[in-house]
Homo-oligomer: A and B are copies of this chain.
């Protein structure tokens, strides 16, 4: 680009301490104290610490994706998402994916593998969301909903799920991330002689 914008090499600030600002049950809010390595200046920044999360791209043998619809208190509305939840301390992401899938939908699958890891909000949140693909998903267990969970489970053709995402019917940021990272794998699976997605519901 002829007119590449001016820019600076960003420094890595050094953390010099942190104190608890508020315990919020699902997460802690900290005041983190940082020193700029060049200017020596010290400043406090608000950050949230929360456990890591996992979201699951759960693909049935018929090449449908499992979706869950539930009431979400943050947006005060229903939200259409893929299964997922909070990981337990020290839990393996693939095991966490199978656990959340089983608890929310009663389904389990095979060939679980990591599609990627994303940061829900690098500016203020420390945690990671693991995005996991599970194949050959089918009903194997009873549901184990947490208190206050009330979940509608759908199985929709993959391409329809992408269309819903682009049309604004799916708005959860981390679900859309999973769809972005699943896309190359889906192209491969779709062309690979596996059963074609059906168009009915």
Contacts and interface: CB of A to CB of B under 8 A. Distances in A.
Interface of A: 1, 3-13, 15, 21-22, 24-27, 29, 32, 34, 36, 43, 45-48, 60, 62, 64, 66, 68-79, 81, 105-107, 116-126, 129, 138-139, 143, 148, 150-155, 165-166, 168, 171-174, 176-177, 179-181, 184
B120 A120 contact: yes
A47 B74 contact: yes
Contacts of A29: 22, 24, 29
B24 A118 contact: no
Given A24-B22, A46-B24, A8 B151 contact: yes
Contact of A71 (B13, B24, B60, B151): B13
Please state the number of chain copies in the assembly: 2
A43 B118 contact: no
A141 B129 CA distance: 37
3 nearest interchain CB pairs? A22-B22, A7-B153, A72-B122
